[in-house]
Structure 1
């Protein structure tokens, strides 16, 4: 059947137009990557065909050899990349090339602006690899037909990368995609067999599909030679593989051009047989915290790609791991639904998780500097495992790192194991402080007594830390975790008898003031009490014994968590001493609210009514200023009276009376 050509012109999505302009005019640091990206896309298309064959009988294996073909034509000035994979329909061409449905393009532009690394290293990571064709070509023609569609529903896409592209319906007997690059002036050195072979072997040798390329003069030979090794890297013996092989494969599956920080390659035999090749990246992918981040582990069955992981192969807290798991036991027609109750997959997942955690533990022990880099990128994600993975909670706890008061600059993260090893004699708890920022934590009054006693405190500033220490992880190595901002301070054997007696005396001496402050703060503070945890600040806020940590309650305001805290006052602070001496002060209630709100602010939390707080504080300052002015006026008046009396007693003014003489004698005696 002859297809009537019908050509339409479309405008690129705005961000795609920006990408194309960058490709054509700015990205020149490594032009060779265009071939790597297009071959990688072709490999993915063939993998998708293999997967769809299991659910669509009409796509059953027709015996055709799956392969990627690269060719060049010196006379025409073109390079062709062709695959016999899944292909695309007209709608898919528009969606995948004319527009970008996901955030990859925007993220790429942002990263390219902010990142100082070589520009072309970013292309694969953000899924914009197709556009790299315009680094070397001033016109690109893509012809494709989706498997399962009739020959007359082929699609031809073409563009010169200047904001528009054309689409026309064509007849294409074979499924798959052919991309023809019309090289721009100055790129003819790529039209060379040796040059193209070297690029393929450098960047795509690890691809398990055969990449064939006719020799010069061979034309469209039926059986062109294979350029790459064309074998699944994970199936090859580790003794045959180099570190460079692993790095190249990681870059292929991740799109990340940096080297992984660690990898594991294991073949497991026994009840279930499977191979895993997993990588820990050295930097976080852009979508690590996206609502639906992509999981980077792919499932293969007998070397055939089956599906991308959605959390069944690797738990969410290890979503940064990249790699493959190849099972010999699962059926080739396995579906996501079948995987839900698969004992084989449960076993594989459990084994993979334990091996990754063991890999991280070894990295932390043997290469702490590398582990510190890993922690900076993925630490917050790994902490999610405390909530998500009860079975491995102890192993994950060993891997956690925190800032603490042990380091003067708080720039060195410490583990629970480090902390326990430095605990003071008589200390039986691991102390921590939750705060919204590190600055708020380091300046917190809750640390004053702990600093004075030389007790180390972990400073926790990430939201996930709230969940880690407020119920999910209650102890480590037999030592209970204790917030320094919760409950009555208990220093145990670290507090001597004199300190205990002083605390008891203060409670008695300030009992009346405590009652009045508590009355003034009714409905806001659960209780008011004196404390030994403060040394320089007048007051602080702590959580009631049975309540959630106040910092957490403030940050989750509206969640229904109890947040009536306790106000603790420092009996040695001059302001608190003054309030105790002048309990008849008519503005005592205002002082109570100011102390309370100041304590809330130093906690890093928000106060309920900032305007009232400012008004109270200003009124108290004005009152103190007026009182000081009145006192100064009275002193001046007294000084003036004394001066007048002195002048009256000067020689020659008046006669001295017996009474004045007596007064002088009394003054001298005083």
Structure 2
């Protein structure tokens, strides 16, 4: 059966529906508004190269898989009469099960997030941008084809299979059991035949397709041949020399960009490219990229890194554990001359040599980020905007590298709410008698900036870090400090800021009078089941009250997060701080002194507590009781 023939449906063929997410993605491809459709060539060539590299690795243990001695190669062929474009490889090939799992489902994490994001975009320009940020792999073929046929034979096996689909909801798999068909199936590897649709006949142009291969796939590690028409001699258009093995001076910037796009499955440009060769005790080459945009699956728990590990140009694994989780956004290739090839990939990653490589690569990436922060702060600001929340995970998970990460970390503060503030900047701006680096944690930056706990610090011109990423509550509670200054939460324990002078025009609360002290004692008695203590505050200037965590234990945000994940059996009762000079406080103190309206004062105490909860992003714990108290207070005020 010829490559351009439509797939026959016979008694041995089976038709299956695509997985739901695949159907959504295929619908997107078939009706694509993405203008850069030529990326399908790169995607298919990249898949073919991966198949060759997988077989190269398997042949280490089973050399009979490549006993024919045929060198690994990829061929892109055109047939203008049949209106087909074919991409062939002599790599590992696929079984029937591989076809179903690999072409009928999407294993890549983040796909659903991508599709949901795309569905939410109405403007075509936004849709184009989103498609360009996501690696659509094999399915990109349906942007240009009204049928895709895959013929494949797994290396070492006799049977061959044909997969076909028009991209409209289902696919068919049939065995190539007839003698003629079996003979024409690949000896090993895969042949992908695209029956180009009427709108995509431009991809039958010999010059254009050859240019696309040279521009987009010139850096793959497997040679690529091009056949412009049936019967023509193959023409080598990519030599298969690994880009990372070349001297940096021999690699053009556009070559790095194209290799990054194939490696990362993204279509932006890298924010930073790192290419170096380590020599000495261990020799290895690294080509690493910091993406220019945030991947959709950056915080997906099932997400795997895309870090390729080679040993002397043999691909060992595509998701090597080379970098720690807090650098999971980095895309890289490592090629080692020292790791053994005659052991399993699991044992390789447990070896001392691999541990040394892992340490060296991690240190170098952090160092290069530091250099970028110093030399190109605007470019680094974009990197931090995309990946700062992930890098801060390292402050908690990797104490050994905490000092290096502190140097590049950027923060929003009360004086710099838009971020970009370094800890060195903060320390340089300490007020006289200020002995700590103050911070406030939460889950919303705007709410943090309006927190009542900050009032006394603003009155004294004390800058406070506003930490709104989930990991902040963890690292700041374990870090000893920076430049000799400890970290201290403004929502926990006493403030210790009385020694810091007020800024011009600011006032601080006076000591609580006897009447206010009596009121505070009454509020404490009224709320004894809900708070650990009620005390006069020296941190409030405008608000009537706020909640504070006890001196020992987690601060309010960390306690909230631990409780939400079942890590705390019981939350500690908070401390309620009351502004002793607030008009409401003074009015309630006067009523209590006169012996009037004790029920009203008790209702007010509960309402003040609920207000303090809501100001820090919490909820009223007893809504019916809250509503009843509010109604009684309003009736009293308006009666």
Give TM-score scaled by structure 2 length: 0.90
Q: Residue 10 of structure 1: which of 3, 9, 16 is its match?
A: 16
| Counterpart in the other structure of 2:7 | none
1:518 is displaced (CA, Å) by 1.6
SS at match of 1:463: coil
SS at match of 2:235: coil
CA distance in 2, matches of 1:569, 1:189: 75
CA distance in 1, matches of 2:636, 2:230: 99
| Counterpart in the other structure of 1:586 | 598
| Counterpart in the other structure of 1:183 | 196
- Structure 1 gaps of 5+ residues are 627-670
| Counterpart in the other structure of 1:597 | 610
The correspondence of residues 117-516 of structure 1 with structure 2, limited to 5 A, is: 126-150=134-158, 153-170=159-176, 171=182, 172=185, 174-185=187-198, 187-214=200-227, 216=229, 218-219=231-232, 221=233, 224-310=234-320, 312-407=321-416, 410-470=417-477, 472-491=478-497, 493-495=499-501, 505-506=511-512, 510-516=516-522
SS at match of 1:392: helix
Change over 3 Å in CA distance of 1:358–1:102 after alignment to 2: closer
Is contact 2:79-2:230 (8 Å) kept? Answer: no
Higher relative contact order (CA 8 A, sep 6+): 2
| Counterpart in the other structure of 1:568 | 577
Moved more, 132-141 or 323-332: 132-141
SS at match of 2:385: helix
Is contact 2:78-2:228 (8 Å) kept? Answer: no
SS at match of 1:592: helix
| Counterpart in the other structure of 1:69 | 75
1:206 is displaced (CA, Å) by 0.6
CA distance in 2, matches of 1:465, 1:106: 28
Moved more, 445-454 or 119-128: 119-128
CA distance in 1, matches of 2:524, 2:54: 69
CA distance in 2, matches of 1:322, 1:180: 30
CA distance in 1, matches of 2:114, 2:560: 36
1:19 is displaced (CA, Å) by 3.3
SS at match of 2:300: coil
Is contact 2:90-2:186 (8 Å) kept? Answer: no
Is contact 2:135-2:266 (8 Å) kept? Answer: no
Moved more, 115-124 or 525-534: 115-124
SS at match of 2:463: coil
CA distance in 2, matches of 1:56, 1:601: 65
Moved more, 248-257 or 209-218: 209-218
String of CA shifts for 1:552-610, please: whole Å, max 9, x gaps: 32343352364211111111112211222232342233222222221121122233222
Is contact 2:141-2:194 (8 Å) kept? Answer: yes
SS at match of 1:529: strand
Moved more, 334-343 or 417-426: 334-343
1:118 is displaced (CA, Å) by 7.6
CA distance in 2, matches of 1:124, 1:344: 38
1:281 is displaced (CA, Å) by 0.4
Is contact 2:543-2:582 (8 Å) kept? Answer: yes
| Counterpart in the other structure of 1:666 | none
CA distance in 2, matches of 1:598, 1:413: 32
Change over 3 Å in CA distance of 1:110–1:356 after alignment to 2: same
The correspondence of residues 602-617 of structure 1 with structure 2, limited to 5 A, is: 602-617=615-630
SS at match of 1:277: strand
Count of residue pairs brought into register by the alignment: 611
CA distance in 2, matches of 1:13, 1:467: 39
SS at match of 1:298: strand
1:520 is displaced (CA, Å) by 1.6
Change over 3 Å in CA distance of 1:281–1:186 after alignment to 2: closer
CA distance in 2, matches of 1:186, 1:554: 56
Moved more, 157-166 or 526-535: 157-166
SS at match of 1:226: strand
String of CA shifts for 1:196-222, please: whole Å, max 9, x gaps: 211100110011210012465753x5x
1:166 is displaced (CA, Å) by 2.5
SS at match of 2:400: coil
CA distance in 2, matches of 1:286, 1:28: 18
| Counterpart in the other structure of 2:6 | none
Moved more, 54-63 or 27-36: 54-63
Is contact 2:151-2:186 (8 Å) kept? Answer: no
CA distance in 1, matches of 2:295, 2:422: 25
CA distance in 2, matches of 1:283, 1:82: 32
CA distance in 2, matches of 1:123, 1:44: 22
CA distance in 2, matches of 1:76, 1:176: 23
The correspondence of residues 100-119 of structure 1 with structure 2, limited to 5 A, is: 100-102=106-108, 105-114=111-120
Q: Which has the larger radius of gyration?
A: 1
Regions of 4+ moved over 4 Å: 55-58, 101-105, 114-127, 215-218, 501-505
SS at match of 2:362: helix
CA distance in 2, matches of 1:401, 1:577: 42
SS at match of 1:475: coil
Change over 3 Å in CA distance of 1:159–1:264 after alignment to 2: same
CA distance in 1, matches of 2:621, 2:67: 68
Q: Residue 550 of structure 1: which of 549, 556, 560 is its match?
A: 556
Q: Residue 36 of structure 1: which of 24, 31, 42 is its match?
A: 42
SS at match of 1:29: coil
CA distance in 2, matches of 1:376, 1:262: 14
The correspondence of residues 531-550 of structure 1 with structure 2, limited to 5 A, is: 531-550=537-556
CA distance in 2, matches of 1:184, 1:340: 46
Is contact 2:109-2:302 (8 Å) kept? Answer: no
Change over 3 Å in CA distance of 1:337–1:135 after alignment to 2: closer
Is contact 1:548-1:562 (8 Å) kept? Answer: no
1:340 is displaced (CA, Å) by 4.7
Moved more, 86-95 or 189-198: 189-198
